């Protein structure tokens, strides 16, 4: 045991013993920089329960200037002078956020061997950092990152009742489908709705008494259909109002025209006869000119046919000349053609990469009813699968109601 003054670290404790080589040193540094940090006023989650153990440490044991980060940095700087006087330097840390900056400090200082580990006692977590300047020491690998086990998400489901299945089977028979079993009937209607929506689907192997479909949604077609339907309903609501107003206006105009025509008939009964007499020749002229128009058009077509044939011959001559001259400069068209083929080949690949989501749909019996499950696989947003599930359920109910 070596007595040292306050705020003494490694250098003052080992400066007189120059020949002794120690195996390791351990340090449990003061974790906190001030009392607020010690109480966890700013860092502790309010939902977290209070610590079950009583804090028995003194002020010098739990608090230091700069907290544990600065305290361990000073030990690192002392180790850079002592170097191989100790085989291993180690410190315990109370905060995970202190681990990364201290490892970075050791990397900057060029320390060759660095490792870390973690301790877990009940709800308490602590971390240990160790480093050495010896090349022959075996460095234990740090603990691998433990990935949190993702809870299996429940599938989105909806139930097709037995009475609904019977109605669907009647409609399926009317359409000439061979579906007899309840599962096949529901599967057939689901496939039809997905096809109408242009949602890609294919059957995949599954267990007994169920049918599985792998669904890939490329575009959000079900929302567009709902939007169009809302617009149609809105237009139907607005159209009757407009037609009533227009009908009233038309009736008023007709009544006014009738009253005006009656007055004019009483005042000038002979003017109409004279006007009719004058208009009759004009009508005959109009009819005759109309009768002559087809003949004129026929003659025009006869004159235009030789011109069209001449134009075609001229164009054929130009194309043949173009082909002949193109033999001298073949690379340009071939390059353009190759570019087009490359673009055409690339476009399907690009479209297959872009999708909204993918899911696995299972149709299986649940007593007398049929259960439809949609299991999320991957994609942009899980809510999109929920929308499609709601759309499928509503469409099946509408089929029965119609």
Average pLDDT, integer, range 354-376: 91
Is 220 annotated for ligand binding?
Answer: no
253-270 confidence digits (pLDDT tens): 666 665 545 554 544 444
394: how many CB neighbours lie within 10 A of its CB? 13
More confident residue, 259 or 188: 188
Confidence (pLDDT) at 134: 92
Q: Where does residue 340 rank: exposed (0-12), middle (13-18), buried (19+ CB within 10 A)?
A: exposed
Q: Is the pTM of this model over 0.85?
A: no
Q: Which residue ranges form the domains of the chain, and what is each CATH number?
A: 10-44+56-132 (3.40.50.150), 156-223+354-401 (3.30.310)
Q: Is pLDDT above 90 for 363?
A: yes
């Amino acid at each position: 045991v070596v007595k040292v003054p306050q705020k003494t670290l490694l250098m003052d404790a080992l400066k007189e013993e120059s020949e002794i080589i120690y195996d390791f040193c351990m340090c449990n540094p003061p974790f906190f920089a001030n009392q607020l940090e010690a109480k966890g006023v700013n860092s502790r989650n309010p939902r977290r329960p209070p610590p079950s153990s009583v804090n028995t440490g003194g002020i010098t044991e739990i608090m230091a200037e700069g907290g544990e980060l600065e305290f361990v940095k000073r030990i690192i700087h002392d180790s850079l002078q002592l170097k191989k006087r100790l085989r291993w330097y180690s410190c315990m840390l109370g905060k995970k956020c202190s681990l990364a900056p201290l490892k970075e400090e050791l990397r900057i200082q060029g320390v060759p061997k660095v490792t870390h580990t973690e301790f877990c006692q009940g709800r308490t977590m602590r971390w240990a950092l160790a480093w050495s300047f010896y090349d022959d020491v075996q460095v234990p690998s740090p603990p691998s990152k433990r990935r949190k086990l993702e809870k299996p998400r429940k599938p989105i489901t909806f139930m097709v009742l037995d009475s609904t299945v019977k109605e669907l089977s009647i409609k399926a028979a009317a359409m000439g489908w061979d579906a007899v079993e309840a599962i096949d009937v529901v599967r057939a209607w689901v496939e039809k709705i997905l096809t109408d929506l242009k949602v890609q689907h294919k059957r995949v192997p599954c267990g007994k008494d169920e049918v599985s479909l792998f669904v890939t949604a490329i575009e959000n077609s079900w929302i567009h259909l709902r939007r169009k339907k809302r617009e149609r309903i809105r237009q139907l609501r607005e159209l009757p109002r407009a037609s009533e107003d227009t009908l009233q206006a038309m009736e008023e105009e007709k009544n006014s025209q009738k009253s005006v025509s009656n007055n004019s008939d009483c005042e000038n009964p002979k003017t109409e006869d004279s006007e009719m007499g004058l208009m009759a020749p004009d009508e005959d002229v109009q009819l005759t000119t109309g009768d002559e128009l087809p003949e004129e058009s026929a003659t025009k077509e006869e004159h235009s046919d030789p011109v069209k044939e001449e134009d075609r011959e001229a164009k054929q001559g130009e194309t043949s000349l173009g082909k002949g001259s193109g033999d001298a400069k073949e690379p340009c068209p071939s390059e353009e053609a190759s570019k087009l083929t490359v673009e055409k080949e690339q476009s399907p690949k690009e479209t297959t990469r872009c999708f909204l989501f993918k899911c696995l749909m299972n149709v299986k019996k649940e007593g007398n009813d049929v259960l439809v499950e949609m299991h999320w696989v991957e994609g942009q947003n899980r809510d999109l699968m929920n929308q499609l599930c709601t759309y499928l359920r509503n469409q099946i109910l509408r089929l029965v109601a119609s």
